[in-house]
Amino acid sequence: MASALTTFFWLLANHPKVVSRVREESDQVMASNQEFASYEQIREMHYLHAVVNESLRLYPPVQFDSKFAMEDDVLPDGTFVRKGTRVTYHPYAMGRMEGIWGTDCMEFRPERWLENGAFCPISPFKCPVFQAGIRVCLGKELSLVEMKIVALAVVRKFDVKIATPEAAPRFDPGLTAMLSGGLQAEIRERVIAE
Protein backbone atom coordinates (compact mmCIF):
# COMPACT_ATOMS: atom_id res chain seq x y z
CA MET A 1 0.00 0.00 0.00
CA ALA A 2 2.77 2.48 0.93
CA SER A 3 4.63 1.82 -2.30
CA ALA A 4 1.47 2.18 -4.39
CA LEU A 5 0.50 5.45 -2.70
CA THR A 6 4.02 6.87 -3.03
CA THR A 7 4.08 6.48 -6.81
CA PHE A 8 0.40 7.54 -6.97
CA PHE A 9 1.23 10.89 -5.36
CA TRP A 10 4.36 11.28 -7.48
CA LEU A 11 2.21 10.87 -10.60
CA LEU A 12 -0.44 13.26 -9.30
CA ALA A 13 2.16 15.91 -8.47
CA ASN A 14 3.25 15.75 -12.11
CA HIS A 15 -0.31 15.89 -13.47
CA PRO A 16 -2.21 18.82 -11.90
CA LYS A 17 -5.14 18.43 -14.33
CA VAL A 18 -5.71 14.92 -12.97
CA VAL A 19 -5.70 16.30 -9.41
CA SER A 20 -8.30 18.89 -10.45
CA ARG A 21 -10.54 16.23 -11.98
CA VAL A 22 -10.29 14.02 -8.88
CA ARG A 23 -11.23 17.01 -6.73
CA GLU A 24 -14.13 17.95 -9.01
CA GLU A 25 -15.46 14.41 -8.98
CA SER A 26 -15.20 14.15 -5.19
CA ASP A 27 -16.89 17.55 -4.80
CA GLN A 28 -19.81 16.30 -6.90
CA VAL A 29 -20.21 13.13 -4.83
CA MET A 30 -19.29 14.27 -1.31
CA ALA A 31 -20.53 17.09 0.91
CA SER A 32 -18.05 19.97 1.26
CA ASN A 33 -17.66 19.36 5.00
CA GLN A 34 -17.45 15.56 4.67
CA GLU A 35 -14.10 14.22 5.84
CA PHE A 36 -14.25 10.67 4.43
CA ALA A 37 -16.20 9.17 1.56
CA SER A 38 -18.57 6.29 2.21
CA TYR A 39 -18.10 3.01 0.39
CA GLU A 40 -21.07 3.86 -1.85
CA GLN A 41 -19.59 7.26 -2.69
CA ILE A 42 -16.21 5.73 -3.52
CA ARG A 43 -17.95 3.36 -5.92
CA GLU A 44 -19.45 6.40 -7.70
CA MET A 45 -16.03 7.95 -8.34
CA HIS A 46 -15.14 6.38 -11.68
CA TYR A 47 -12.38 8.84 -12.50
CA LEU A 48 -10.64 8.22 -9.17
CA HIS A 49 -10.83 4.48 -9.83
CA ALA A 50 -9.29 5.05 -13.27
CA VAL A 51 -6.47 7.14 -11.76
CA VAL A 52 -5.68 4.46 -9.18
CA ASN A 53 -5.66 1.72 -11.83
CA GLU A 54 -3.48 3.76 -14.18
CA SER A 55 -1.02 4.41 -11.36
CA LEU A 56 -0.91 0.70 -10.53
CA ARG A 57 -0.45 -0.16 -14.22
CA LEU A 58 2.68 1.98 -14.43
CA TYR A 59 4.02 1.33 -10.92
CA PRO A 60 2.77 -1.98 -9.52
CA PRO A 61 3.92 -2.50 -5.92
CA VAL A 62 5.08 -6.04 -6.75
CA GLN A 63 6.95 -5.61 -10.02
CA PHE A 64 7.43 -9.30 -10.79
CA ASP A 65 6.20 -12.59 -9.41
CA SER A 66 6.39 -16.27 -10.23
CA LYS A 67 4.41 -19.46 -9.91
CA PHE A 68 5.18 -23.13 -10.44
CA ALA A 69 3.26 -25.10 -13.05
CA MET A 70 1.09 -27.67 -11.26
CA GLU A 71 0.92 -29.79 -14.42
CA ASP A 72 2.17 -29.74 -18.00
CA ASP A 73 0.56 -26.80 -19.78
CA VAL A 74 0.72 -24.69 -22.92
CA LEU A 75 0.73 -20.88 -22.70
CA PRO A 76 -1.50 -18.83 -25.04
CA ASP A 77 1.46 -18.16 -27.37
CA GLY A 78 2.06 -21.91 -27.77
CA THR A 79 4.97 -22.21 -25.32
CA PHE A 80 5.06 -25.59 -23.60
CA VAL A 81 5.55 -25.48 -19.81
CA ARG A 82 6.55 -28.68 -18.01
CA LYS A 83 5.05 -29.51 -14.61
CA GLY A 84 7.15 -27.99 -11.81
CA THR A 85 8.61 -25.25 -14.02
CA ARG A 86 8.83 -21.81 -12.45
CA VAL A 87 7.00 -19.25 -14.60
CA THR A 88 7.81 -15.61 -13.85
CA TYR A 89 5.71 -12.71 -15.03
CA HIS A 90 6.48 -9.01 -14.80
CA PRO A 91 3.52 -6.63 -14.21
CA TYR A 92 5.89 -3.62 -14.36
CA ALA A 93 7.04 -4.54 -17.87
CA MET A 94 3.56 -5.60 -18.96
CA GLY A 95 2.23 -2.16 -17.98
CA ARG A 96 4.63 -0.64 -20.50
CA MET A 97 4.09 -3.00 -23.43
CA GLU A 98 2.92 -1.28 -26.59
CA GLY A 99 1.33 -4.54 -27.75
CA ILE A 100 -0.98 -4.46 -24.72
CA TRP A 101 -1.52 -0.73 -24.09
CA GLY A 102 -0.85 0.96 -27.42
CA THR A 103 1.65 3.57 -28.54
CA ASP A 104 0.94 5.77 -25.50
CA CYS A 105 1.81 2.95 -23.07
CA MET A 106 4.43 5.07 -21.28
CA GLU A 107 2.00 7.92 -20.63
CA PHE A 108 -0.02 8.37 -17.45
CA ARG A 109 -3.48 8.58 -18.98
CA PRO A 110 -6.33 7.57 -16.62
CA GLU A 111 -8.85 8.10 -19.43
CA ARG A 112 -7.75 4.79 -20.98
CA TRP A 113 -9.81 3.10 -18.22
CA LEU A 114 -13.02 5.04 -18.96
CA GLU A 115 -15.77 4.66 -21.50
CA ASN A 116 -18.29 7.52 -21.60
CA GLY A 117 -17.16 8.58 -18.13
CA ALA A 118 -17.69 5.14 -16.56
CA PHE A 119 -14.88 2.87 -15.40
CA CYS A 120 -14.38 0.05 -17.88
CA PRO A 121 -12.54 -2.93 -16.35
CA ILE A 122 -10.06 -4.89 -18.43
CA SER A 123 -8.88 -8.47 -18.19
CA PRO A 124 -6.78 -8.99 -15.04
CA PHE A 125 -4.43 -11.04 -17.26
CA LYS A 126 -3.62 -7.83 -19.16
CA CYS A 127 -2.67 -5.98 -15.97
CA PRO A 128 -1.93 -8.60 -13.28
CA VAL A 129 -1.15 -6.18 -10.45
CA PHE A 130 -3.29 -8.34 -8.13
CA GLN A 131 -2.60 -11.52 -10.11
CA ALA A 132 -5.44 -13.17 -12.02
CA GLY A 133 -7.57 -16.26 -12.33
CA ILE A 134 -7.85 -18.61 -9.37
CA ARG A 135 -4.80 -16.97 -7.76
CA VAL A 136 -6.22 -13.43 -7.72
CA CYS A 137 -5.38 -11.54 -4.51
CA LEU A 138 -8.13 -11.96 -1.93
CA GLY A 139 -7.40 -8.46 -0.63
CA LYS A 140 -7.69 -6.74 -4.02
CA GLU A 141 -10.94 -4.87 -3.39
CA LEU A 142 -9.96 -3.92 0.16
CA SER A 143 -6.61 -2.58 -1.08
CA LEU A 144 -8.26 -0.51 -3.80
CA VAL A 145 -10.81 0.96 -1.37
CA GLU A 146 -8.10 1.76 1.20
CA MET A 147 -5.95 3.40 -1.46
CA LYS A 148 -8.87 5.53 -2.65
CA ILE A 149 -9.79 6.57 0.91
CA VAL A 150 -6.22 7.76 1.59
CA ALA A 151 -5.95 9.41 -1.85
CA LEU A 152 -9.19 11.34 -1.33
CA ALA A 153 -8.28 12.40 2.21
CA VAL A 154 -4.99 13.87 0.98
CA VAL A 155 -6.14 15.31 -2.37
CA ARG A 156 -9.17 17.06 -0.89
CA LYS A 157 -7.27 18.75 1.95
CA PHE A 158 -3.70 19.18 0.75
CA ASP A 159 -1.50 20.18 -2.17
CA VAL A 160 1.44 17.85 -2.72
CA LYS A 161 4.57 19.21 -4.36
CA ILE A 162 7.47 16.89 -5.18
CA ALA A 163 11.02 18.21 -4.68
CA THR A 164 12.23 16.77 -8.01
CA PRO A 165 9.08 16.12 -10.07
CA GLU A 166 10.98 15.64 -13.33
CA ALA A 167 13.05 12.75 -11.93
CA ALA A 168 11.44 9.37 -12.57
CA PRO A 169 11.19 7.14 -9.50
CA ARG A 170 14.15 4.83 -8.89
CA PHE A 171 13.48 1.65 -7.00
CA ASP A 172 15.52 -0.33 -4.50
CA PRO A 173 15.60 -4.05 -5.26
CA GLY A 174 13.22 -6.13 -3.19
CA LEU A 175 9.88 -7.88 -3.13
CA THR A 176 7.96 -4.60 -3.23
CA ALA A 177 8.82 -1.51 -5.23
CA MET A 178 10.23 0.86 -2.62
CA LEU A 179 11.54 4.18 -3.89
CA SER A 180 15.26 4.60 -3.44
CA GLY A 181 15.70 7.43 -0.92
CA GLY A 182 11.95 7.82 -0.47
CA LEU A 183 9.90 10.61 -2.01
CA GLN A 184 10.82 14.11 -0.92
CA ALA A 185 7.59 16.10 -0.88
CA GLU A 186 6.19 19.35 0.45
CA ILE A 187 2.63 19.02 1.72
CA ARG A 188 0.56 22.14 2.31
CA GLU A 189 -2.99 22.53 3.46
CA ARG A 190 -5.18 23.72 0.60
CA VAL A 191 -6.59 27.20 0.68
CA ILE A 192 -10.12 26.89 -0.64
CA ALA A 193 -11.89 30.08 -1.69
CA GLU A 194 -15.41 30.22 -0.29
* Binding-site annotation, residues for heme: 137
Closest CA to 108 of 191, 8, 30: 8
Listing DSSP states for 155-191 in one string gives HHHEEEEESSTTSPP-EESSSS-EETT---EEEEE--
- Give the whole-angstrom CA distance, residue 181 versus residue 194: 39
7 and 55 in contact (C-beta within 8 Å)? yes
Cα-flanking dihedrals φ and ψ of residue 166, to 5°? -75, -20
Q: H-helix or E-strand containing 126?
A: none
Annotation: binding site: 137
